[in-house]
Structure 1
């Protein structure tokens, strides 16, 4: 029997902050990630821990918005791993998939400068209200992140209208909680998963491939897999459930 290959999102799928855990505490939870100063940041419930154990009967490949630097502080398989929304693929020993990196460099050269768009979007923003940055990997700017300092992300909804006119054609906007991201057309979890699925199929053509995620943005790569899974308390599942008569 051929073991499955699992492409899985991390945050709010396999673990979350203690505040988001069912009992709101870290008691009885497994520490999964830490901040740069070593303090705890993400925990898995027993059910999530058991789910990950089940996945490990096959091969686990993380697919995350976390950068390689932040990903290194997660207690999970990382060879290969898709980081920064598809902006970097790590291999054994933490090395970078140079073929994929070269592909992204060539793609980025055909589109508007991310730093220029970043300047236009953030120049009017008050530092007291917002924090923001450009995510980069190995010298390549990838996408823009904006977060609110004054609420849980409600104020970000207003920015999407303001930015509509200066967002380049083909770019994707994704908001989930207090996180607003603008990504160029060449950056996509789907593209990176497509690249790795081709490698998996060349070695194990009959391996069942499972996609797991919590966000509507994860649909792009889950759609490529043979089977898809999502937490039932997630943004993704709320979108599926909304207006569905069969849940009544």
Structure 2
């Protein structure tokens, strides 16, 4: 039976240096564009990776785009799910044509909305002197989602942008988009895009090929809950957003 692990990356398998524990050896695994180390595995995370990789097919299931995934120094050799499920790459690194065509429709339907949100956010940042940066995350010339991050430790500036612009904008869209906030990232994602959609599609495709599958989902954020729930088994690291909302709740 083939074991297939859908594995979120950031804050699940590694994290930035400021989020790492102060003691213990760290293993650099992800780089910035200038080549400098940015994200690190702890010893336990490294052992977890080695344990999974020894007997399973690991599928990165991430918000990262292709350039950011290529700066992760881990030997993924099979399928990849990128940009919150907007892109599905086969083991050769080519986009799955059926999935790309489906996501092209979703992206094209959302393009004008996302560009409008980006323009409004840029104007708000300039007008209010906010320490934040915004962009659209795109792949294959298709915009998939909007992301905002605070700078210089000024998380209150991102909170202001969220309250004064993004939340009213979302309300005006009638539920067509969802927002994900985790640490310094705030993403606005069309409902048609989601890791869970890509995970279900890949499981369905491989099952139709006659493979018996055991599927495991691993993630840290609330938004990961949907894709790991599509798997046979679910794993979340302790002391994460998803852990706090589930296992971390006190018993009634």
The normalised TM-score by structure 2 is 0.88
132-141 or 191-200, larger mean C-alpha shift: 191-200
What are the equivalent positions in structure 2 for 1:63-82 lying under 5 Å apart?
A: 63-76=61-74, 77-82=76-81
Contact 1:136/1:142 (CA < 8 Å) preserved in 2? yes
Among candidates 144, 147, 154, match of residue 145 of structure 1 = 147
| Offset at residue 239 of structure 1 (A) | 1.2
Unpaired stretches in structure 2, ≥5 consecutive residues: none
Secondary structure at 2:15 match in 1: coil
Q: Partner residue of 1:90?
A: 89
CA RMSD of aligned residues (A): 2.0
Contact 1:4/1:208 (CA < 8 Å) preserved in 2? yes
Q: Which contiguous aligned blocks of 4+ residues in structure 1 show a shift greater than 4 angstroms?
A: none
2:167 pairs with 1:164: yes
Could you tell me how far apart the structure 1 residues matched to 2:156 and 2:212 are?
45
Contact 2:132/2:157 (CA < 8 Å) preserved in 1? no
| Offset at residue 240 of structure 1 (A) | 1.5
| Structure with the largest fraction of helix | 2
Could you tell me how far apart the structure 1 residues matched to 2:186 and 2:77 are?
26
| Offset at residue 128 of structure 1 (A) | 5.0
Pair 131,111 (structure 1): closer, same or farther in 2 beyond 3 Å? closer
| Offset at residue 153 of structure 1 (A) | 2.7
What are the equivalent positions in structure 2 for 1:183-198 lying under 5 Å apart?
A: 183-198=189-204
Q: Partner residue of 2:131?
A: 129
Q: Partner residue of 1:216?
A: 222
Q: Partner residue of 1:19?
A: 18
| Structure with the largest fraction of strand | 2
175-184 or 120-129, larger mean C-alpha shift: 120-129
Unpaired stretches in structure 1, ≥5 consecutive residues: none
| Offset at residue 80 of structure 1 (A) | 0.9
Could you tell me how far apart the structure 2 residues matched to 1:166 and 1:233 are?
31
